[in-house]
Amino acid sequence: MKLKLALAAMTALGLMAGAANAQVEKPKLELGVGGKPLLYYLPLTIAETKGYFKAEGLDVTINDFGGGAKSLQSLMGGSVDVVTGAYEHTIRMQAKKEPLVAVIELGRFPGIVLMVKDSLKDKVKTPADLKGLKIGVTAPGSSTNFFVNYLIAKAGGNPKDTAYIGVGGGAGAVAAMMKGEIDGMSNLDPVISKIESEKLGFVLADSRTEAGTKAIFGGSNPAAVLYLKPEFAEKNPKTTQALVNALYKALDFIAKAKPEDIAGAVPEAYFLGDKPLYMQAVKASMETYSRTGIISADGMKSAHDMLKQFDAEIASANIDLNKTFNDKFIKAVKK
């Protein structure tokens, strides 16, 4: 009798999974991300570990690249279907006549921090003083790189006078700072909190909070989003909706969770060998996550204004910001 009940339960679960899969056009997906352990991408990890993708009938394979620029390249090359990455890429690619569209905002503030090693404290007073120095970024051409470029240009310097070294977003980034391979770093938590705890550098700019972001950009500045090619959403509307549903559930979980809840939901490798420090980093980054999943018009303008500061191609392009974000799917989420 017990065996029959177990078989019946397994059959029912199989039928439920099959029904969920039948609701989406593309149940098996390849998703690209640049630095998955970073708190910038926490909603993605939560959607994965809490089973939110599977609950939506999706089998998502996550490809973790060294930085956002590499995940963008994988999307444009066709090796992944969608990307969790920086919103700025939708603006940059529109300027190149290769449109991309964001469908949910995951981060409303960048959460990026620019740090410089302590021995340069007397020399580096503003980002313009980074001239001739080596600054670690997750990957050249990534949002961490854009952040430094903007800060240097805003301070009156030339971003091209600084060298950018790809160090990723994990233990390798911390090691690069410890070994003195770089003079400073533009990165995210938990990497930044680890470097702070080791007293390896001082903070020059911090966008982990609303106050810090406003001081840098003058307002909000969207960070991580789920972006894809417009034709993907057109051909796979149910699949796109399922992805947005899962990521919104993750945002809702994060909004209600305590740091220990977050630590319990991510792989141990994310802790960089220090779980209490990771929880401290989570606490420091909680303000960064989107509350609604919707990018504000002011946020889109802020991101565009940032890129125009140092990118001549974008400054001269006719950008339609309304085409960089499709709010149809987030508005259809049952909240």
Provide the pLDDT confidence category of residue 16 given band limits of 50, 70 and 90. Answer: very low
Provide the pLDDT confidence category of residue 15 given band limits of 50, 70 and 90. Answer: very low
The dihedral formed by the CA atoms of 66, 67, 69 and 73, expressed in degrees to the nearest 10: 40
Could you tell me if 178 and 272 lie in one domain?
no
Range of the domain at 212: 113-217
What token pair was written down for 288?
Answer: 């960064």
User: What pLDDT, on a 0 to 100 scale, did the predictor assign at position 121?
Assistant: 94
Could you tell me if 117 and 105 lie in one domain?
no
State which of 188-192, 206-210, 327-331 shows the largest mean pLDDT.
327-331
pLDDT reading at 62 higher than 90: yes
Mean pLDDT of 233-260: 98
Could you tell me if 100 and 240 lie in one domain?
yes
Could you tell me if 294 and 274 lie in one domain?
yes
Provide the pLDDT confidence category of residue 22 given band limits of 50, 70 and 90. Answer: low
User: What pLDDT, on a 0 to 100 scale, did the predictor assign at position 18?
Assistant: 42
For the chain, give the percent of residues with pLDDT over 70: 93
pLDDT digits (tens, 9 = 90+) for 241-252: 999 999 999 999
Judged by average pLDDT, the poorest of 71-80, 119-128, 194-203 is 194-203
Mean pLDDT of 251-257: 97
Final residue in a domain of this structure, among 164, 183, 217: 217
Final residue in a domain of this structure, among 198, 217, 236: 217
pLDDT reading at 156 higher than 70: yes
Could you tell me if 152 and 226 lie in one domain?
no
pLDDT reading at 182 higher than 80: yes
Could you tell me if 252 and 175 lie in one domain?
no
Mean pLDDT of 32-39: 94
pLDDT reading at 63 higher than 60: yes
Could you tell me if 244 and 167 lie in one domain?
no
Could you tell me if 193 and 237 lie in one domain?
no
Judged by average pLDDT, the poorest of 92-96, 157-161, 197-201, 318-322 is 197-201
Mean pLDDT of 219-228: 93
Final residue in a domain of this structure, among 217, 245, 268: 217
Could you tell me if 243 and 268 lie in one domain?
yes
**Domain CATH for 312:** 3.40.190.10
Could you tell me if 84 and 132 lie in one domain?
no
Tell me how many domains the chain contains. Answer: 2
pLDDT reading at 106 higher than 70: yes
Could you tell me if 196 and 264 lie in one domain?
no
Could you tell me if 91 and 20 lie in one domain?
yes
